């Protein structure tokens, strides 16, 4: 990773705290006054090295502390809805979505295939294995997509042997 100058990083951090909507161009001009070597960077390079990193760090801190959720709640507390029905609908959807996300995080999928009749088994011997493998791979993709963080993704991918066993079983 490219080297950052602590004085410039502090300047950028302070300026962003004062005015979060300040442009990278303005920050770049101020940073050049603090350290002349910044002038060798393009604005894109400067933005990636300083303001973007400051914003990422502060976003991670908010997420860790739960501040992002509190800020959103504080914003929405000032707003009022025009009707009770719309507020109720929003609350319902929010809870249902939270339950779905929690369920997908806590337990791996335990769905089982429906039992097949003998005629179904005979008819789809060749194409059924393909669709079964396809279903397993799509389920794997859904679990990877539902993973919220790196640790969750590693957990899903770490069970790759289980997925391979399921694919082999479906293919034979």
* Per-residue pLDDT, 138: 87
Per run of 10 residues, the mean pLDDT along the chain (length 172 residues) is: 84 92 93 92 92 86 66 50 48 52 53 54 65 87 82 84 88 83
* Residue for token pair 């350290």: 35
How many angstroms separate the CA atoms of 109 and 15, rounded?
Answer: 47
What are the tokens at 156? 């899903």
Neighbouring CB atoms inside 10 A of 86's CB total 10
DSSP 172: -
pTM (2 d.p.): 0.38
DSSP assignment string, 34-96: H-GGGGGS-HHHHHHHTHHHHHHHHHHHHHHHTHHHHHHHHHHHH---S-HHHHHHHHHHHHH
C-alpha closest to that of 18 among 28, 27, 29:
27
What are the tokens at 18? 């004062």
* Per-residue pLDDT, 18: 93
């Amino acid at each position: 990773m490219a080297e950052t100058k602590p004085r410039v990083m502090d300047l950028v951090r302070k300026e962003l705290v004062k005015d979060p909507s300040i442009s990278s161009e303005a920050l770049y001009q101020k940073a050049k006054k603090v350290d002349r070597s910044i002038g060798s960077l393009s604005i894109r390079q400067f933005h990636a090295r300083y303001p973007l990193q400051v914003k990422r760090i502060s976003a991670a801190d908010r997420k860790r502390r739960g501040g992002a959720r509190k800020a959103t709640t504080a914003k929405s507390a000032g707003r009022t809805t025009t009707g009770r029905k719309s507020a109720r609908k929003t609350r319902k959807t929010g809870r249902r979505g939270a339950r779905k996300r929690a369920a997908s995080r806590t337990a791996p999928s335990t769905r089982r295939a429906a039992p097949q009749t003998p005629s179904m088994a005979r008819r789809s011997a060749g194409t059924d294995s393909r669709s079964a493998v396809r279903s397993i791979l799509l389920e794997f993709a859904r679990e990877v997509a539902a993973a919220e963080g790196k640790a969750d993704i590693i957990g899903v991918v770490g069970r790759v042997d289980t997925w391979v066993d399921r694919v082999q079983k479906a293919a034979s």
